[in-house]
Amino acid sequence: MRCPYCENEDSKVIDSRHTEDGRAIRRRRECEECGRRFTTYEKVEEVILMVIKKDGSRQAFDRSKLLNGIIRACEKRPVSIADMEKIADDIERGLNNMMEKEVESTFIGELVMERLKDLDEVAYVRFASVYRQFTDINTFVAEIEKLLTNKKKS
Ligand SMILES: [Zn+2]
């Protein structure tokens, strides 16, 4: 951390404590060159990820909404809530790691489908039918046939 007085690059931390609300760490530093002291704050950067919906409108990413969609697809299926939560967590983490500010809702949908495909085929088809909004029975059948072909291969 550069010294604000002499621009020296090296400083040592002489005191470190949480701010009252616990959302930041306040560090007292001392310049190794001129010996003057200054304070730095370390904060978690709160990045809000916006989801672009099919109609072009934006909505803040909501993990619980994502999880609800997964739960709905897995209704009465032998999938544990822990597995569903893990999918939601992994996807949320993956999205955060992308460091994007905006992401298409269809992209998130594809990520969920990727995971459901391995977990439970019925849940996968249910989710896909909502997410891809199969407009006619043919695309729906095509999706199931694709699934069956992949299954035969593996
Ligand atoms: Zn200095």
Tens digits of residue pLDDT in 58-71: 999 999 999 999 99
Residue 141, pLDDT score? 75
pLDDT over 70 at 136, yes or no: no
Asked if 32 and 8 touch (Cβ cutoff 8 Å), the reply is yes
Q: Which two tokens stand for residue 133?
A: 């909004």
Residue 72, pLDDT score? 93
Q: Are strands 24-31 and 50-52 parallel, antiparallel or unpaired?
A: unpaired
Q: Which two tokens stand for residue 89?
A: 């967590």
Q: What is the whole-number distance in angstroms between the Cα of residue 38 and the centre of ligand 1?
A: 9
Q: What is the whole-number distance in angstroms between the Cα of residue 95 and the centre of ligand 1?
A: 40
Cα 116 to Cα 123: distance, rounded to the nearest angstrom: 6
Q: What is the whole-number distance in angstroms between the Cα of residue 15 and the centre of ligand 1?
A: 17
Residue 138 contacts by C-beta under 8 Å, 6 or more apart in sequence?
none
Q: What is the whole-number distance in angstroms between the Cα of residue 33 and the centre of ligand 1?
A: 5
Q: What is the whole-number distance in angstroms between the Cα of residue 42 and the centre of ligand 1?
A: 20
CA-based radius of gyration for the chain: 24
Asked if 129 and 141 touch (Cβ cutoff 8 Å), the reply is no
Residue 44, pLDDT score? 75
Cα 67 to Cα 71: distance, rounded to the nearest angstrom: 6
Q: What is the whole-number distance in angstroms between the Cα of residue 5 and the centre of ligand 1?
A: 5
Task: State percent of the chain over pLDDT 90.
Answer: 57
Q: What is the whole-number distance in angstroms between the Cα of residue 107 and the centre of ligand 1?
A: 49
